[in-house]
């Protein structure tokens, strides 16, 4: 399977970068708000209790992964 990347003009590239940053910011903010209201959801539901990183850093990484579909949902062959 050959990977074909789309071509973007300058405005399209800027739009892609800005919307990606906004999506990441939204996912991270949403997960931090949820972690404030219910840390048990992340500690037990998302198994962050066994994560060696500090709690908020683990929540940040989880929110970023959830907002980045290519990282969060790898394609299986």
Expressed as residue numbers, the domain containing 29 is 24-70
Is residue 56 a part of any domain in this protein? yes
Is residue 5 a part of any domain in this protein? no
The phi, psi pair for 10, rounded to 5°, reads: -60, -45
What confidence score (pLDDT) does residue 16 get?
83
The structural domain count of the chain equals 1
Span 35-50, pLDDT tens digits: 999 999 999 999 999 9
Span 5-40, pLDDT tens digits: 778 788 988 988 888 899 899 999 999 999 999 999
What confidence score (pLDDT) does residue 70 get?
54
Band (4; pLDDT cuts 50, 70, 90): confident
Q: pTM of the prediction?
A: 0.74
């Amino acid at each position: 399977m050959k990977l074909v990347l789309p071509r973007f003009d300058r405005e399209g590239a800027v739009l892609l970068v800005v919307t990606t940053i906004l999506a990441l910011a939204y996912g991270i903010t949403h997960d931090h708000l949820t972690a404030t209201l219910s840390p048990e959801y992340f500690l037990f539901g998302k198994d962050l209790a066994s994560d060696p990183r500090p709690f908020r850093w683990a929540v940040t990484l989880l929110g970023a992964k959830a907002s980045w579909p290519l990282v969060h949902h790898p394609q299986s062959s």
